[in-house]
């Protein structure tokens, strides 16, 4: 049975699938890019006629593509999403919001093992030179902004190699997050929950990213409003964040989706309060997850394991200190 919070989030994200039409149109003109350290959606070209399950491409469609060459002779303006391949994750970067669209990682018991000499203290936040300068998030944007530089793939997930851990500090893997009560607390607990899943599941796939969801104001209407940090304003501050999790055990796949507000959350709040249907995140983010799978066959993650936040030893000590103070 869904919770009131889950029902409200599902309602809010249901009508927020912005940009889907333009992206679908762009895909018709674009070829798939070759794998590289970074790729962007290419300049459209006219594909050769091919036969598919329904036969040859209709002549009318080919005529429209030929006409498009005369409409767009100097290139397609976008939107362009930069795909960056790292040692431990893959990120799709949004040039308009200077935030990731999504960041994907694959957790296993082996990948979470700490190798000798790997230390977070050796890592530093850095701008991503793969992104054109005019579209980059910058370190100065976060300075005195009141927000933490929140990891989408946390450094604690990448302890097997120092270079891989360093890569989690690129700003293409970062979003502005409320610090006390969220990034340093409840969000960290959710990240720990994801890691703890590897004790029960040999393969855990996690997608993390921002959302910009509408909220209802006094006039009864819904608005999408969010802060932009930097001087001049440059980086959008998400209203919410999602985590989409897929686990595998003995050939059985289970999925869970969670949407959390970018705001302080009490440690006593059950994680399942933020559980939403997978398609709610897809509609809200304009994304499609696990499109190579039969999603109707996915099991409910929270029925296969207990979905609850897991406090790290550091946070347990912090909590006990607060109680005894």
Would you tell me the crossing angle of helices 278-285 and 4-14 to the nearest 10 degrees? 40
d(CA 31, CA 4): 43
Widest pairwise Cα distance in the chain: 76
In whole angstroms, how far apart are CA 7 and each of 11, 143, 187, 271?
6, 36, 21, 15
**151 given a catalytic annotation:** yes
- 141 neighbors 128 (Cβ within 8 angstroms): no
Of 106, 151, 215, 292, the catalytic one is 151
Other CB atoms within 10 A of residue 235 CB? 22
- Euclidean distance between CA atoms 87 and 101, whole angstroms: 19
How many whole angstroms from its chain centre is CA 10?
17
Degrees, nearest 5: CA angle 78-84-89: 135
| Of the candidates 110, 201, 209, the residue with the CA atom closest to the CA atom of residue 157 | 110
- The rounded distance, in Å, linking the Cα atoms of 181 and 179 is 6
Dist CA 4 CA 273 (whole Å): 8
Instruction: Please check whether residue 6 is in contact with residue 276, taking contact to mean a CB–CB distance below 8 angstroms.
Output: yes
* Active-site residue set: 151
């Amino acid at each position: 049975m869904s919770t009131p919070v889950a029902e409200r989030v599902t309602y809010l994200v249901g009508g927020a699938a912005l940009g889907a039409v333009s992206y679908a149109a762009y895909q018709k003109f674009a070829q798939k890019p070759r794998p590289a350290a970074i790729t962007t959606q290419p300049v459209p070209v006219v594909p050769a006629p091919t036969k598919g399950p329904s036969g040859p491409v209709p002549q009318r469609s080919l005529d429209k593509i030929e006409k498009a060459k005369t409409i767009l002779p100097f290139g397609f303006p976008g939107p362009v999403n930069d795909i960056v391949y790292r040692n431990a994750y893959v990120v799709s970067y949004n040039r308009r919001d200077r935030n990731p669209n999504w960041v994907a990682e694959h957790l296993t018991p082996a990948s979470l093992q700490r190798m000798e000499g790997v230390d977070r203290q050796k890592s530093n936040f850095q701008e991503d030179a793969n992104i054109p300068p005019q579209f980059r998030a910058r370190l100065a944007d976060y300075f005195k902004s009141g927000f933490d530089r929140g990891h989408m793939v946390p450094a604690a997930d990448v302890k097997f190699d120092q270079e891989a851990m360093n890569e989690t500090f690129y700003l293409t893997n970062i979003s502005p997050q409320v610090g006390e009560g969220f990034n340093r607390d409840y969000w960290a607990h959710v990240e720990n929950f994801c890691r703890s899943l590897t004790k029960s599941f040999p393969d855990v796939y996690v997608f993390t990213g921002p959302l910009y969801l509408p909220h209802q104001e006094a006039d009864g209407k819904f608005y999408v409003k969010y802060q932009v940090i930097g001087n001049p304003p440059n980086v959008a501050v998400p209203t919410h964040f999602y985590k989409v999790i897929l686990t595998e055990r003995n050939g059985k796949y289970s999925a869970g989706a969670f949407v959390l507000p970018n705001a302080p959350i009490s440690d006593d709040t059950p994680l399942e309060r933020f559980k939403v249907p997978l398609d709610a995140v897809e509609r809200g983010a304009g994304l499609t997850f696990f499109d190579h799978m039969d999603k109707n066959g996915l099991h409910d993650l929270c029925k296969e394991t207990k979905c609850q936040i897991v406090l790290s030893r550091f946070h347990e000590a912090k909590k006990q200190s607060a109680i005894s103070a």
